[in-house]
Amino acid sequence: MRFAHLSDPHPEWKTVAEDHMKNEEKLSYLYDLPIEEFRKIPYRPPPLSVNVPQPGQHLQISERQIRVRDGTKISLRIYRPMMTTGNHVLFFNIHGGGWTVGMPQTEEGQNRLIAARNEAIVVSVNYRLAPEFPFPYALEDSIDALKWTQSNARLLEADPSRIILGGGSAGANVAAVMAQIARDENMSGIIGQILNIPVTCHPDHFPHSKYEGNSYEQNALAPIVNAAKMHFFWNNYLPSGEAHPWNSPLLSKSLRGLPPTLVQVAGMDPVRDEGIAYAEALMAEGVDVKLKVYAGMPHAFYVYPDFGSSLEYLETMVEWVHQVSQTTQSTQ
């Protein structure tokens, strides 16, 4: 029970907890709707901080469509610094949303901030969503988008030898798997990965004999994403329930040789322990890991963008991207 204390609500969270739970109760019916009705409810990305970089002043934002392996067109949202030099570090992001909801704007604040502050080219992929498109669609769409991005790096004014993979929640799950596949397939250019509040293992297959894994029980009724919602998301993405390293990266036989990694974990989160377990597994295999834990904060607490913890969460990413990009030299 090493991590039980991390579930104690943070004082900052307590300031909004009552109102937040009232709003959640009003929307709880959504998860009981048939998918056809669920899809009719407009998705609203999280609000942005009052200090978020603005398009036209601090960065440029554009959209582009590409074709993936089955011929389907999907979109990319591309963020660029105002002044480009042709050899920027590339941050490739896979958005969160339980593989079932979400869009690139789910992590709009971080994408704008990294483009503006790190002078990075940020590409966020709008992959197809479950349950209409279950595993492995999110993974394969993201891989195809990454390959397109690397092949068109000159067009994007990015350096194909300096790519940082990133994602939040379900997106972090996909990013972690992509890093493993890139290693196994000798795909060059991946210099780091950012795994925010990551989902790393199907709950029915978590290796309790190796890692502490009590957060599903300790945070069963947590706000924003509770245990029931995580099961809902997993049932949509992986209806067979058969775990594989390509959907549960914690189950990989080896994590050796993966790039430097930033892992950010929320303490009051059902997936807390699998995030910590993945960080520990990476460390055990010699990977350079920075683990940051936000005690007493729920999953995706950045939906309150002006919390001190949310600002620290974003600043940690900016600083980490700067450190990793500075240790590599551009090849262009």
- Sign of the dihedral through C-alpha 190, 195, 201, 202: negative
Which residues touch 141 (CB under 8 Å, ≥6 apart)? 68, 74, 125, 127, 128
Q: Is 299 a catalytic residue?
A: yes
Read off φ and ψ for residue 76, nearest 5 degrees.
-120, 140
Name 310's Cβ contacts closer than 8 Å, sequence gap at least 6: 49, 301, 302, 304
Q: Which of 299, 309, 310, 325 is flagged as catalytic?
A: 299
Element at 322 (helix H, strand E) = helix 308-326
Catalytic option among 144, 159, 269, 273: 269
- C-alpha–C-alpha distance, residues 175 and 194, integer Å: 8
- Single out the catalytic residue among 7, 49, 142, 169: 169
Question: What is the per-residue burial (b if ≥16 Cβ within 10 Å, else e) of 112-125?
Answer: bbbbbbbbbbbbbb
Tokens found for residue 170:
């379900």
Active site residues: 169, 269, 299
